[in-house]
Structure 1
Amino acid sequence: MSPRTATLRLEGLSYGVGDGRHLVDAVDLTAAPGETVGLVGPNGSGKTTLLRCVYGALRPTHGRALLDGDDLHTMTAKARARRVATVPQDGQTEFELTVREVVAMGRSPHRRFWEPDTVADTALTDAALRRVGIAPLADRAFPSLSGGERQRALVARALVQQPALFVLDEPTNHLDIRHQLEVLSLIKELGTTNLLALHDLNLAAYYCDRLYVLKAGAVVASGSPAEVLTSGLLADVYEVAAEVTSHPRTGAPTVIYLPAPAAAPRAGSPAQSI
C-alpha cells in the first residue's frame, strides 16, 4: 500500500440552506501533500457540513474544492472515489455483509461493477484488516460489531481505496483510549493528505499539523496547534475557561479545562439561611 498524496484547496467554499443561512460560510483552507489538517469547533459550527462538501455528499452553493487543481464537484462519483476516501462519523449498513466484504468495497471505484475481486484486491483487503487490528473479525457480520470495531473496519475500507486524500469525520467516535491513539497514529503515518474533524482538542493538538477553528460556519482561526489553541480562543469559541500549557514530553499544547465558577446564592435562598 504505497501512499498517494495531493494538495487540497478550498476557495471561498460555502453551503447555504433555504432560509438564507450559511452552514459553511466562505471557507478558505489548504492541506499540503502529506499534511494532517484538523477541523475543530463546537457542535453546530459546520465541521461535518464542510467535510460533506469536500467528499461530495453535498454540493457547495458557492466556491470550489480543488484536489491538485481539479474541481472535485466536476468529477464523476467514481472518479472522485478513486482519489478521496471517507470515514463517516457513524457507519451503518442494514445489509448482512461480513467485515471482509465491507472492507473489500473500497476496491469498487477501481473496477467495473461486474468484475470480481482480483488476487491483488484480496491482498489489499487482508493487509488493511491486519493494519487496523481486526483480521480476526473478518468473517463476522458487520452489523454485529461494536461501534469501535465498526469504525476500524471503515478505516480499513478507506485504506483499500488507496486514495490521495482521507476525509474523516470524528474517526475516534466510539473508540476507547487505546484505539483512539492507534487509529490517529495510523492516519498520521499513512503519508496521505488528511482532513479530519475532531472534538478532542488534545488529540487534535498532538496529531494535526495545522488546525482550522470553525464558529457558525466560518473560519475564525487557523495555524499550528500552538498558534491556535489559546485560552482566549477557547473562551470566545467554546465559552469555557481553560489553561493551555506545553506538554513536558511531547511539546504539544495541552488544554486543561477549568470548572465554571459556582453561581453566588441569592439573598434569602436556603443556602444563606443554613
Structure 2
Amino acid sequence: MNQPLPAGDLRTEHLSYEVDGKLLVDGVDLAAAPGETVGVVGPNGSGKTTLLRCVYGTLRATGGRALLDGDDLGAMGAKARARRLATVPQDGQAAFELTVEQVVAMGRSPHKRFWEADTAADEELVRAALERVGVAALAHRAFPSLSGGERQRALMARALVQRPTLVVLDEPTNHLDIRYQLEILSLVRDLGTTNLLALHDLNLAAYYCDRLYVLDGGRIVASGAPKEVLTAELLATVYGVTAEVSTHPVTGAPTVVYLPPPAS
C-alpha cells in the first residue's frame, strides 16, 4: 500500500450544469495530468462543489463531459466509475454505527460482486490503508465517534483501498484544526494519484497544489501555477478584497495576507 497508486489523466471539455435556466457551471475546460494535484478555488457560490459533483457523478452534466484517460465518466455506471475514481466529501458524518474498519472496507465494494465476502487480500489492503493514514489504532471504534480529522483520515483510507487513479476531494480540510489540515493535504499530495480538490483557504491551495483554477460565477477566470494565479489584482476582482501577495521565504509559495477595508 505504500507503493504509489496509479495516476489517471483528467480532462473536462466545456463542462456545464444548468438548473432552471441558470448555469451553475459554465463551459469549464480543466485538466489534471497524471500525478498532479489540482485545486479549484473561488468565492462561495462560484460553482466549485457543483463542478466536482459533475466530475464524480452525483450530478449529471447538462453540457460537455469529463474524461478520465479518455473515457467519459458520465457514461459509466456507478460501480465502474468507483473502480477508477474515489471521492472524499466535506463532512464524513455517518448516521449508522459502522466501525472505522468497516467504513474503510466499503472501498473494496466496487471491485466485488454483490454480497461477495472480503478476501485475505482485501483485509490486507484495509489494514495497510489504516496504517498509512495513521488510524490503525481506531479500527474498531464507531465511525461517528471520531473527531473531524480522524473521520477525514478514515475516508482517505477508504479511498486508498478503492485503488483509484483519480481522487476528488471537496473541501477536505473544512472545519478541521490546522494540524489536521496540514496532515490531510500532505497525505493527499503523497498518494501518487491524480487529485482534484476544492479548497477555501488560498494559502493552503498555494502550497499544496501544482496548479489552480479560479472559478467565478461558474466560469474559469484564471488558471496556472499558484504564483501566476494568486495576485492582488485577481483577489480584488474575484473576491472583492484588498490583499498583499508575497513569496514565502521558506516554502517559496505565494502567501496571501488580507487587509481590512479602509475606514469610512
TM-superposed CA distance for 1:92, in Å, is: 2.6
Q: Tell me if the contact between 1:148 and 1:173 (Cα under 8 Å) persists in the aligned partners.
A: no
Report SS of the residue matched to 1:183. helix
TM-superposed CA distance for 1:145, in Å, is: 1.4
Mapping of residues 108-257 of structure 1, within 5 Å: 108-257=109-258
Mapping of residues 49-68 of structure 1, within 5 Å: 49-68=50-69
Query: Percentage identity across aligned positions?
Result: 76
- If you compute each CA radius of gyration, which structure gives the higher value, 1 or 2? 1
TM-superposed CA distance for 1:182, in Å, is: 1.3
CA distance in 1 between counterparts of 2:53 and 2:100 reads 24
Task: Using the TM superposition, name which of 166-175 and 233-242 deviates more.
Answer: 166-175
Q: Tell me if the contact between 1:27 and 1:219 (Cα under 8 Å) persists in the aligned partners.
A: yes
CA distance in 1 between counterparts of 2:93 and 2:179 reads 23
**TM-score (structure 2 length as normaliser):** 0.97
**TM-score (structure 1 length as normaliser):** 0.94
Match of 1:9 in 2: 11
Report SS of the residue matched to 1:15. strand
What runs of 5+ residues in structure 1 fail to find an aligned partner?
A: 264-274
Report SS of the residue matched to 2:128. helix
TM-superposed CA distance for 1:83, in Å, is: 0.3
CA distance in 2 between counterparts of 1:159 and 1:172 reads 18
CA distance in 2 between counterparts of 1:229 and 1:208 reads 12
Report SS of the residue matched to 1:255. strand
What runs of 5+ residues in structure 2 fail to find an aligned partner?
A: none
Amino acid at match of 1:219: I
Match of 1:258 in 2: 259
Match of 1:101 in 2: 102
Structure 1 moving runs of 4+ over 2 Å: none
> RMSD in angstroms over aligned alpha carbons?
0.9
CA deviations over 1:116-152 (Å, ceiling 9, x no partner): 1111111111111111111111111111112221111
Amino acid at match of 2:64: G
Task: Using the TM superposition, name which of 239-248 and 118-127 deviates more.
Answer: 118-127
Q: Tell me if the contact between 2:152 and 2:184 (Cα under 8 Å) persists in the aligned partners.
A: no
Q: Tell me if the contact between 1:104 and 1:157 (Cα under 8 Å) persists in the aligned partners.
A: yes
CA distance in 1 between counterparts of 2:128 and 2:170 reads 23
CA deviations over 1:146-183 (Å, ceiling 9, x no partner): 22211111111111111000000011123221221111
Mapping of residues 64-103 of structure 1, within 5 Å: 64-103=65-104
CA distance in 2 between counterparts of 1:253 and 1:187 reads 20
CA distance in 1 between counterparts of 2:179 and 2:149 reads 11
